[in-house]
Structure 1
Amino acid sequence: MFRTNVIDMVGLPGMFGEGQCHWDQVTRILRSHWYHLTLQHHQEGRTYEATLMVDSEPRLQQILLGQGDDLRVTDVLVVTPSHMNGTSGWQMETLVEATLGEDENECSVCLLEVHTGAIYHSSHVAGFNRDSLTNLHPIYQASMIR
């Protein structure tokens, strides 16, 4: 989840369109992964590009399923904290596949395969083994973008 503060709002609510606000910055409290999407929106013969920061797999899936002639996802990156990617800091990498499953406690766990072939997981269980997941279902595959 991303959090905003009213002092970071640019302009007045609605000045960029009904229901729209712009922000100088957003805050993220949790040290969990999120998605950075590039979208192309086609409207009245023009193409607009936008970046969308997505917090969860259900929201990512909703956006992917919502693609059509006027809106398409052109790039999906995953941003992972150090405890997931095994480095000393956050990393942004091209996402190849995202899969959800359940661990032995029936908690949702996400498996993330990135362009290097590395596979990260969202579990906080010590000694986690991804082969122990059940009810696996893909949320994203690179072939889902155009």
Structure 2
Amino acid sequence: MFTTYWHAEIPMPRSIAGPQQLWRFVELEHHGPWFYLTINKGTGTKNWRSMIFVATEEEFELMLEDIVAGARIEAVQIVTPARLNGTGNWQMEELTELVRIHDSENGVLGYDFRTASGGLYSDRISAAADARRTKIYSALICP
């Protein structure tokens, strides 16, 4: 999850901000992949884009199921830690596919990620022999 700090909040009257709170920065202490989504909330000729940070694979799955009404995903970037991407640093790449790896009882064992550059990363807690794969996201299906 992202951590926010009161001193980083941008004060806005509720009449202007609505249900949102604005922050100058957020912190992420999770050392796993996270996602940067570009969504388009408009229709017809009235389009506006918004970017959403999603902290975990599970939250990304939920977001795909419950995306803001009328919004569509334009792009998904995955931000991977050095332990996954092998570069020694965090790295952001366009995500083309996310696959959930699970056992026969649907217990999540981890995820596989494919990027536009051809990278294939795997973040699994187990390499069970009976592992099954479920495609969660594909750039070809979710433009």
Q: TM-score by structure 2 length?
A: 0.83
Q: How far has the Cα of 1:88 moved from its partner?
A: 1.1
Q: How far has the Cα of 1:64 moved from its partner?
A: 2.8
- Does residue 101 of the first structure (1) align with residue 98 of the second (2)? no
Q: Is the 8 A contact 2:32 2:56 kept in 1?
A: no
Cα distance between partner residues in 2 of 1:13 and 1:68: 24
Q: Is the 8 A contact 1:42 1:69 kept in 2?
A: no
Cα distance between partner residues in 2 of 1:44 and 1:141: 24
Q: 1:60-80 deviations in whole A, cap 9, x for unaligned?
A: 233334458831110011000
- Equivalent residue for 2:131? 134
Cα distance between partner residues in 2 of 1:144 and 1:13: 40
Q: Is the 8 A contact 2:40 2:72 kept in 1?
A: yes
Q: 1:37-83 deviations in whole A, cap 9, x for unaligned?
A: 00111169621110000122333233334458831110011000000
- Equivalent residue for 1:46? 46
Which amino acid in the other structure matches residue 36 of structure 2?
A: H
Flag structure 2 segments of 5+ consecutive residues without an equivalent.
none
Q: How far has the Cα of 1:132 moved from its partner?
A: 4.6
* 1:1-146 aligned within 5 A: 1-12=1-12, 14=14, 16-42=16-42, 46-66=46-66, 70-102=70-102, 108-123=109-124, 132=129, 134-146=131-143
3-state SS in 1 of match to 2:41? strand
What is the percentage of aligned positions where both structures have the same residue?
Answer: 24
Q: Closer, same or farther in 2 for the Cα pair 1:19/1:57, shift >3 Å?
A: same
Q: Closer, same or farther in 2 for the Cα pair 1:62/1:16, shift >3 Å?
A: farther
Q: Closer, same or farther in 2 for the Cα pair 1:20/1:136, shift >3 Å?
A: same
Which amino acid in the other structure matches residue 110 of structure 1?
A: Y
Matched pairs, number:
140
Cα distance between partner residues in 2 of 1:7 and 1:52: 22
Cα distance between partner residues in 2 of 1:40 and 1:141: 17
Q: Closer, same or farther in 2 for the Cα pair 1:25/1:88, shift >3 Å?
A: same
Cα distance between partner residues in 1 of 2:13 and 2:129: 48
CA RMSD of aligned residues (A): 2.6
